[in-house]
Amino acid sequence: MKMLMLHSHDYWLKPYERNLENADPDAAIISCRDALVALIHVERSDEELPGTVTTKALKNIKWLARKIGAKMIVLHSFAHLSTSRGEPEIAEQIIRNMATRLAASGFAVQITPFGYFNEFKIHVAGPSLAKVFIDI
């Protein structure tokens, strides 16, 4: 898994075009402020040990969210951080599992519509910790 985490002052996303047949046809616009946005790329190798990868990713997200004081987390499937791509169904399952576990830890969580090309804007904070890349 590759993950680019961004401390966002303002985040907005609009589903543009479905690229998976089973994507929710009623996908809606997402908008939030003061969030940690995690752009998540699930790789083929993550399919072998999804639980281990998920736990490591969550530790990194929680650590950074607490460090920057973010209570809102946006999980954004972003298949552009590696050439190795996991199966869409497994990637979606991993991201939904992450959302459930983050919510159980007290975070507000939004998941961007899965199976879409999206139009989005991110206003990223300036400090060094506002932009963190993780290779799990």
Please say whether the beta carbons of 99 and 111 come within 8 A.
yes
Give me the residues paired with residue 119 across strands: 14
Mean pLDDT of 71-80: 93
What b/e sequence results for 22-39 when a residue is b if at least 16 CB atoms lie within 10 Å of its CB, and e otherwise?
ebeeebeebebeebbbbb
| 88: confidence class by pLDDT, cuts 50, 70, 90 | confident
116 pLDDT higher than 80: yes
Distance of alpha carbon 94 from alpha carbon 90, whole angstroms? 6
Indicate the pTM of the whole model: 0.92
- Per-residue pLDDT tens digits for 14-47: 999 998 888 888 899 999 999 999 999 999 999 9
Distance of alpha carbon 1 from alpha carbon 45, whole angstroms? 8
- Residue whose pair of structure tokens reads 């206003």 in the numeric block: 123
Give me the residues paired with residue 46 across strands: none
Please say whether the beta carbons of 5 and 134 come within 8 A.
yes
- Residue whose pair of structure tokens reads 């890349």 in the numeric block: 133
Distance of alpha carbon 101 from alpha carbon 105, whole angstroms? 6
| 75: confidence class by pLDDT, cuts 50, 70, 90 | very high
Tokens (6 digits) for 71: 């209570």
**Domain 2-25+32-127: top CATH class:** alpha beta
Strands 72-77 and 108-111, by their bridges, are: parallel
Mean pLDDT estimate for the chain: 94
Distance of alpha carbon 82 from alpha carbon 28, whole angstroms? 27
55 pLDDT higher than 90: yes
For residue 96, which phi and psi values (nearest 5 degrees)? -65, -40
